[in-house]
């Protein structure tokens, strides 16, 4: 077992040290606005993570979409942003990424109380399955990568679900360092989740998308989007929530949005 672990570690180190293709660098510069705002060391680290991610994950084009390096690199870089300053394990439960050209139709089952279930077809932009699959709509991926101020990013959202599910549960709590961190996380996230549910019920505006009021797992994913896309507003309106996410992701995203045109 230790031999396998060492082999994987050495393989990843080798992948991270390989030259990053100029064409991939151009893709990041063209498609990922946040990439240009990172410091030199962070950009170097992110490039290394992208190389490992692309070597380990399988992509499939769906709905007639033909995969390209632009699609693969743009998705990988946004996903790896979530692990930029954390110990990267590259989403160990994830095996395959399915990419559609745009919104796709999926079967949905929702409990409606009394043991009943409502079934039907719904249009979706992305989803994360517990069996190692993420589904994404490419037009939404590229829109989220280029616009970093609208609070919407389907890649960050769905890969936050992957982080949440890493311990086998989808409950809005990813793997944390120690008991104290779990206690702090639970206290802040429970309070903020209930606050969003209350605001949504009363029709009050919030910097957090009301979809986060669906359940704790969606709240974590929505909070992650907001942390990377509207960090200054999040820090002002929800300082405790911002602090928990800062401690988890270890990136002061408010500094990335410090320029006037952010």
Which of 233, 240, 195, 97 shows the shortest CA–CA distance to 155? 97
Cβ-count burial of 115 within 10 angstroms (0-12 exposed, 13-18 middle, 19+ buried)?
exposed
**Superfamily (CATH H level) for 1-145:** Glucose-regulated metallo-peptidase M90, N-terminal domain (1.10.472.150)
pLDDT above 60 for 175:
yes
CATH of 171-262, one of 3.40.50.970, 3.90.330.10, 3.40.390.10, 1.10.150.80: 3.40.390.10
- Among residues 112, 99, 8, the alpha carbon closest in space to that of 61 is found at 99
Annotated domain spans of the chain: 1-145, 171-262
Residue 3 pLDDT more than 70? Answer: no
- Indicate if the pLDDT at residue 197 is higher than 90: yes
**pLDDT at residue 260, rounded to an integer:** 43
How confident is the model over 33-91, as pLDDT tens digits? Answer: 999 999 999 999 999 999 999 999 999 999 999 999 999 999 999 999 999 998 888 99
Which token pair is 188?
């802040």
Res. 201: pLDDT tops 70: yes
Nearest in space to 28 (alpha carbons), one of 7, 8, 50: 50
Query: pLDDT averaged over the chain?
Result: 90
What value does the mean pLDDT take over residues 203-218? 94
CA distance 126 to 222: 13
Say whether pTM exceeds 0.85.
yes
Q: Determine contact, residues 155/127, Cβ cutoff 8 Å.
A: no
pLDDT in tens, 135-166: 999 999 999 999 998 889 999 999 999 999 99
Contacts of 231 (CB under 8 A, 6+ apart): 242, 253, 254, 256, 257
Q: Any idea what the Cα angle at residue 53 is, between residues 51 and 55, rounded to 5°?
A: 70
């Amino acid at each position: 077992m230790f031999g396998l672990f060492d082999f994987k570690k050495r393989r990843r180190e080798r992948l991270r040290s390989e030259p990053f293709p100029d064409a991939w660098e151009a893709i990041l510069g063209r498609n990922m606005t946040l990439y240009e705002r990172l410091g030199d060391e962070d950009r170097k680290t992110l490039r290394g993570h992208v190389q490992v991610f692309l070597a380990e994950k399988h992509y499939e084009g769906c709905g007639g979409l033909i995969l390209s390096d632009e699609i693969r690199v743009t998705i990988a870089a946004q996903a790896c942003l979530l692990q930029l300053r954390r110990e990267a394990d590259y989403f160990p439960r994830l095996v395959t990424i399915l990419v559609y050209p745009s919104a796709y139709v999926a079967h949905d089952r929702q409990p409606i109380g009394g043991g009943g279930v409502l079934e039907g077809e719904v249009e979706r932009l992305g989803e994360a399955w517990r069996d190692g699959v993420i589904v994404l709509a490419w037009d939404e991926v590229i829109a989220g990568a280029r616009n970093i101020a609208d609070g919407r990013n389907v890649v960050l959202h769905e890969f936050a679900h992957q982080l949440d599910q890493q311990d086998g549960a989808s409950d809005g709590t990813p793997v944390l360092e120690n008991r104290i961190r779990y206690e702090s996380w639970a206290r802040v996230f429970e309070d903020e989740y209930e606050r969003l549910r209350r605001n949504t019920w009363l029709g009050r505006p919030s910097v957090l998308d009301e979809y986060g009021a669906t359940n704790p797992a969606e709240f974590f994913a929505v909070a992650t989007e907001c942390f990377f896309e509207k960090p200054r507003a999040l820090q002002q309106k929800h300082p405790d929530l911002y602090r928990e996410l800062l401690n988890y992701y270890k990136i002061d995203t408010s500094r990335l949005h410090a320029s006037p045109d952010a």
